[in-house]
Amino acid sequence: MIEIRQLHKHYDTAQGRVQVLKGIDLEVQAGSITAVVGPSGAGKSTLSHCISLLEKPSSGQILVDGKDLSILSGKALRAERRAIGTIFQNSALLRRMTVAENVALPLRNLGVVHHEMEHRVAELLERVGLADRANSYPGELSGGQRQRVGIARALALRPRLLLSDEATSGLDPEATAQILELLASLRTDLGLAIILITHEMDVVRHIADRVAQLDGGRIAEYGELRALVANPESVTGSKLLPLHPDLVPAGYDFALTVAYRGTQIDPSWISKLGSEYGATVALLGGSVEAHQEGTLGRVEIGLSGIGEARAIEVLDGWGLHATAHSQALRTDKINGETRIEVTV
C-alpha cells in the first residue's frame, strides 16, 4: 500500500516562496487505481515528481508498505526507489538503443547477470505484447507501442507502485484503449497500486477505482469513482459524466437529476416510470456507460403525472439517486427547444 501523508512542496524563487502542494493525503491500495485530476497549475506535475522521488518534498511522508521514502537520500534512496515505477507522457526511451536494451536498462544499472536479464526482458516484452519487437528501435514503433515499452521498463524492477504521468496524452483512442487495458491487467494480475496523473476524464472514467481532484495544491475531492458519479453535488462526478442542467420543459411538472447508485440498474427504468406509475417522462440529457463494476450513469429527466417525492422514492428503490432541480430552475419553463421525448 502507498500512503502519502501531509505532503507539502514549495519553491523559493526570486519573487519569493511559491507554495505548490499544501498538505496532500492519498492512500492507494495494492491492486487499485487512483486517478489524480485537476486544472492546469493545480500541482499535478509537482505531485508526480514528489511521488516518483525525482523531487524532495518540503515536508510530509511517502510511505511504501509503511516505509517512508521521502527522508532517504543517496544509496538508500536509489535502492528504495525501485518500489516506484514511472511512465511518462513521451515514454522517454533512448533512441539509439533497441526495445530490449531500453527495457534492460534498469536491470543493467543494478548489475543483474546477463542471462537473467535476457530472461526478464523477454518476460516483460511478452507481458506488454511486444515480444516480436525486441530488436526494433523506438523510432520504428508507434506512439502506443513506445508507451508499452516504457511500461515494460517501469516494471523491470518489480515495483509496487506504478505512477503514470499523462501516459496516454497525445495517443489516439485505439492506442489509449490498449494502454488502459494493459494497466488494468497489471492492477489485477500483479496487484500493483497505480496512480494515474491525467487531465483526460475519459481515461479516468474507464479505469480508475478512486479519484482525487487536485485544486490549488490541495485535494478538493477524493473518493470512489462510483460514489463521486452517483453524487449529484460532486464537482468531480459532474466532470466525469457531464450533464447540462436544464430547465423543466413546457408540459412537465418538475425535473430530476438521476444518478446510478447501484451496480445492477434495470435499463428499462424510464419506461417503467410510465407503465407502472403512470408518469410521462422527457429525457433531457444524460450519459450512461458500461464500467468494469457495472453501469455508471447520470441522467436528467422531466416528469409529470407523478408527485416529485413519490418519483424520488420509486427511483431510490431501483438503485437510482434522484435529486430535484433547484426552485429557481423549476419556475422557468422552456419553450420551443427540441427535446428527446421518451414514449412510456
Ligand X SMILES: Nc1ncnc2c1ncn2[C@@H]1O[C@H](COP(=O)(O)OP(=O)(O)OP(=O)(O)O)[C@@H](O)[C@H]1O
Binding site for ligand X (CB under 6 A): 11, 13, 18, 20, 38, 40-46, 199
- Cell triple for 277: 406509475
Q: How far is the CB of 119 from ligand X (least distance, A)?
A: 38
Cβ-proximal residues to 61 (8 Å cutoff; 6+ apart), any chain: 3, 4, 5, 6, 7, 68, 70, 71
112 vs 120: CA distance, rounded Å: 10
The rounded distance, in Å, linking the Cα atoms of 116 and 157 is 12
> CB atoms < 10 A from the CB of 116, how many?
10
CB of 242 to ligand X, least distance (A): 19
Residue 150, C-alpha cell as written in the block: 516504457
CB of 240 to ligand X, least distance (A): 18
CA dihedral 218, 224, 227, 228 (to 10 degrees): 30
Smallest distance from the beta carbon of 20 to ligand X, in angstroms? 4
Q: Strand 254-260 and strand 218-224: pairing?
A: unpaired
Shortest reach from residue 90's CB to ligand X, in Å:
14
Output the smallest distance, CB 42 to ligand X, in A.
4
The residue (of 13 and 327) whose beta carbon lies closer to ligand X is 13
| Minimum CB–partner distance for residue 10 and ligand X (Å) | 9
The whole-angstrom distance between residue 240's C-alpha and the CA centroid of its chain comes to 9
Between CA 245 and CA 248, with CA 247 as vertex, the angle to 5 degrees is: 125
Least Å distance between CB 153 and ligand X?
23
Q: Which of 261, 195, 269, 187 is nearest to 228 (CA)?
A: 261
Shortest spacing between CB 218 and ligand X, in angstroms: 12
Which amino acid appears at position 207 of this protein? I
CA distance 124 to 331: 61
